[in-house]
């Protein structure tokens, strides 16, 4: 299967470098404008996160395509860090502890990185099985979701943070035998 993994367009929180996970923030005007210059190939199946920033991105990039919602493609729940940026968290002992862990500790009152990655990878395999007869699919999802999927299934293997993806951009891949082969960065 040919597979596109696309990160949603910019939101106001993204532009302010905020942790935006469970907050159902829409695209901002800058995000919509940036998406208008991008084109992606048509796909047989379109799968999106239930968050409005992903649904809006999908409707702008694939205006005539029916979207299938995958609830478990939601972004990570950043708990007490939700909606805040580095400047606001700087000096917070819980934030410093999380930074010192290399991002492996659970977010206070939120989701653990391992729970999040497991949720995303399980959902990815469920979608691949559900749409296994399709020749092509696009997923409009979150940066963390993309990093989770690629760090688990892409060969050669790269670590989670090595798969950082810009808003509105993504990866054109081949998916075969539970392995993702990167063909091109989009």
Work out how many domains the chain is built from and give that number.
1
pLDDT in tens, 134-154: 999 999 999 999 999 999 999
- DSSP alpha helices (H): ranges in the chain? 12-15, 29-36, 52-61, 86-89, 93-100, 113-130, 143-153
* Average pLDDT of every residue of the chain: 96
Average pLDDT over residues 13-23: 95
Answer for the pair 66, 47: CB distance below 8 angstroms, yes or no: no
Q: pLDDT-derived band of residue 70, with 50, 70 and 90 as boundaries?
A: very high
How far, in Å, CA of 31 to CA of 95, rounded? Answer: 28
Q: Could you tell me the CATH number of the domain that includes residue 176?
A: 3.40.50.1240
**Parent domain of 117:** 2-185
Q: Which pTM does this prediction carry?
A: 0.95
């Amino acid at each position: 299967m040919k597979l596109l993994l696309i990160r949603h367009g910019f939101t106001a929180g993204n532009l302010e470098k905020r942790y935006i996970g469970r907050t159902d923030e829409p695209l901002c005007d800058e995000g919509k404008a940036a998406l208008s210059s991008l084109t992606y190939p048509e796909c047989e199946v379109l799968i999106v996160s239930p968050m409005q920033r992903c649904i809006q991105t999908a409707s702008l990039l694939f205006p005539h395509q029916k979207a299938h919602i995958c609830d478990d493609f939601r972004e990570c729940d950043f708990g007490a860090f939700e909606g805040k940026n580095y400047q606001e968290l700087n000096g917070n002992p819980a934030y410093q502890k999380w930074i010192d862990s290399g991002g492996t500790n659970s977010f206070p009152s939120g989701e653990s990185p391992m729970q999040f990655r497991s949720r995303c990878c399980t959902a990815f395999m469920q979608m691949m099985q559900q749409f296994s007869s399709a020749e092509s699919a696009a997923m409009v999802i979150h940066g963390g979701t993309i990093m989770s999927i690629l760090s688990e299934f892409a060969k050669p293997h790269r670590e989670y943070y090595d798969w950082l993806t810009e808003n509105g951009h993504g990866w054109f891949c081949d998916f075969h035998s539970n392995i993702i082969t990167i063909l091109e960065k989009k």
